[in-house]
Structure 1
Amino acid sequence: MSIVVASRRAALLFAAAGIFLLTHSHAQAQWWKRAPVDFEECADAAEKAATKAEKTSALADCNAKFAGRRKAGGGYSYYDFLQDRTFDIAGPNPTPDEQKKIDEFYTAYLANQRRSNEAAQAAMRQQREQQEQQAQQLQQVALRTEVARVPVPVERPKVQQAVGPRPKGAPCAKGSFSCEWPRLSESLNDLKKLFNPTPSKPAKKG
């Protein structure tokens, strides 16, 4: 916290020192009759400067001397540009206690900014992971679709071998047609001979 406050005060002092150095030569002239009590009184006196350059220089000197601005209802307000916030203060410049309070708010402001940045980065990582998962799922669906479109090769039908007469002397299975048919054929021939006897040849005449 001390490092943050020190850097913040250094930034404020650097800005004030820059303005003060620009107007140091004019401030030495003491162009007002009496010292102003706040910024508004200082700015009113600066408006009475003889030239535009003197007016600009005088207003810059007012900004360097007074950090607070008058409020309509009384009191003063101080705008801290480092945290873009306005604080109520009692006088034209913050007191040491008021400055300490402003520094504490600035430390909390930095912590909130850090948490917000971390949350934003986490949300971005989660979104990126979800997008990657969706892309992978789409790729898998597309791959399955392409595989489904590829025609499956049809197996060629087996050519049934024609059953022919069994070669002589070849073994055959019992009860198969190729083995039984010769015996059935011989039986049929025997029956035909019984019912259709062959006529006897007539004797030759001498």
Structure 2
Amino acid sequence: MLSVISSRSSAFAIAALAACFELAPAVAHAQWWHSGPRDFEDCADIAEKAKTKQDKTAQLADCNSKFAGRRKPGGGYTYYDFMQDRSFDIAGPNPTPAEQKKIDQEYTVYLEKQRRSDIVAALNAKQLQQQEKLQEQEQKQQMQQQQQIRPATLRREPTKVPVPVASPIKSRAAAPGEIRARTRGSCVKGTFSCDWPRLSEGLNDLKKLFTPPSSLTQPTKLAKRS
């Protein structure tokens, strides 16, 4: 009877020891959970208390890898997706599977929009390039036409200005005999205007008789001088 009681008591003691060993890790795990950071901000506060700068940098990098979300002023968290350059509202410090799925779907839509915008930009650039080529061709054609027109204008003969022709009536000089005949025919005999030309002609004839020629008088003058 005593042996049975002692065996039961020893078995109970062994079971109690085993329970203590099993509960010890759970208690230790519970203590770690309560003391650990719950989000990025708590983790960053702990990293600020690091002794060295290197430890602080390493702990902040660990916080960034553990927690993707950041606290919002009004409560909740926000997740920034740098691939989309966009922020998403999430419930906890990290996106749940459902939230991550939604973020991935939005990223697919973003890629499709980006692809379309790239296609439109490429088409616009191609059209602009074609327009520039057409303008260059038009400018070349205009330059060629101008070069073809310029030699033709240079070869063109100058316009001849007609020289005025003298009137035969004006160019024809009236002879002295004709003048005398006209005056005689038009004047009235017995008047001074009609008789004076005759008298002047007679006086001229007398002067010619008494006046020697110039060719004969010149040698005599030269002889006298010598």
**Structure 1 length-normalised TM:** 0.57
Q: Which has the larger radius of gyration?
A: 2
Over aligned residues, Cα RMSD in angstroms? Answer: 2.1
**Pairs within 5 Å for 1:37-56:** 37-56=38-57
Amino acid in the other structure paired with 1:91? G
Q: 1:121 to 1:130 in 2, by over 3 A?
A: same
Greater helix content: 2
**Pairs within 5 Å for 1:1-206:** 34-151=35-152
Cα contact 1:32–1:45 (8 A) shared by 2: no
Cα displacement (A) at 1:151: 2.0
- Distance in 2 of aligned mates of 1:34 and 1:154: 105
Q: 1:113 to 1:65 in 2, by over 3 A?
A: same
Write out per-residue CA displacement over residues 48-103 of structure 1, whole angstroms, 9 at most, x where no aligned residue: 11221111111111001000000001100001111111111110000111101100
Amino acid in the other structure paired with 2:92? G
- Distance in 2 of aligned mates of 1:154 and 1:91: 92
Write out per-residue CA displacement over residues 18-60 of structure 1, whole angstroms, 9 at most, x where no aligned residue: xxxxxxxxxxxxx998211100011111111122111111111
Higher relative contact order (CA 8 A, sep 6+): 1
- Uncovered stretches (5+) of structure 2, i.e. residues with no partner: 1-31, 158-226
Write out per-residue CA displacement over residues 127-157 of structure 1, whole angstroms, 9 at most, x where no aligned residue: 00000000111111111111111227679xx
Once the two structures are aligned, what percentage of the paired residues are identical? 58
- Distance in 2 of aligned mates of 1:33 and 1:49: 20
- Distance in 1 of aligned mates of 2:63 and 2:156: 95
